[in-house]
């Protein structure tokens, strides 16, 4: 169980960053960029992180719009949070990658606020080209996920897939 003091710090971080994360999501949504061309989105996210004191490694895996940031202590569990931010041709952000990006950044910043005290490391990985470009595949091949114990992300949908998968038969 998470120490209530750490949980409170996570909550405080999320509350403090709420407006900035909403703005990040809206900026990405209003300026859709296709696979491997997500230069504005990647720049906005890295600027957000740097303005909060995080070091950001750009050009991750040789991909100009991929990046990585770390927080916490090496030696404990290392968890990656994945951010997608590319858009679909013609439809823009119909899949909600702007929400994925802002949610991932928020999760990273919140987890980073307690990572040292929790005894682990959190990593934010910006994964470009998820709409037909295989960005994560190229990052895996380049070794960007070496040493990661778990990776997670969310994707907006109109229902809970777990409820669909585990619903008892009627």
pLDDT in tens, the chain (170 residues): 779 999 999 999 999 999 999 999 999 999 999 999 999 999 999 999 999 999 999 999 999 999 999 999 989 999 999 999 999 999 999 989 999 999 999 999 999 999 999 999 999 999 999 998 999 999 999 999 999 999 999 888 876 666 555 555 54
The answer to whether residue 134 is domain-embedded is yes
pTM of the model: 0.92
The answer to whether residue 170 is domain-embedded is no
- Please return the burial class of 153, using the count of CB atoms within 10 Å of its CB with bins 0-12, 13-18 and 19+: middle
The answer to whether residue 147 is domain-embedded is yes
What CATH number has the domain bearing residue 57?
3.40.630.10
The answer to whether residue 36 is domain-embedded is yes
**Domain enclosing residue 77, as ranges:** 4-165
If one counts the domains in the chain, the total is 1
Copy the structure tokens of residue 76.
């404990």
- Which of 115, 125, 124 is closest to 75 using CA atoms? 115
């Amino acid at each position: 169980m998470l120490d209530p003091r750490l949980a409170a710090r996570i909550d405080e971080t999320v509350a403090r960053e709420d407006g900035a994360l909403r703005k990040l999501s809206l900026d990405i949504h209003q300026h859709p960029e296709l696979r491997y061309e997500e230069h504005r989105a990647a720049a906005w996210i890295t600027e957000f992180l740097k303005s909060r004191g995080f070091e950001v490694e750009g050009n991750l895996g040789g991909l100009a719009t991929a990046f990585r940031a770390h927080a916490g202590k090496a030696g404990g569990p290392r968890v990656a949070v994945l951010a997608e931010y590319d858009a679909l041709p013609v439809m823009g952000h119909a899949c909600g990658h702007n929400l994925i990006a802002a949610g991932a950044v928020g999760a990273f910043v919140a987890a980073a606020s307690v990572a040292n005290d929790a005894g682990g490391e959190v990593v934010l990985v910006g994964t470009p080209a998820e709409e037909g470009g295989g960005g994560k595949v190229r990052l895996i091949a380049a070794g960007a996920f070496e040493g990661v114990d778990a990776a997670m992300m969310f994707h907006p949908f109109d229902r809970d897939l777990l409820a669909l998968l585990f619903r008892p038969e009627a």
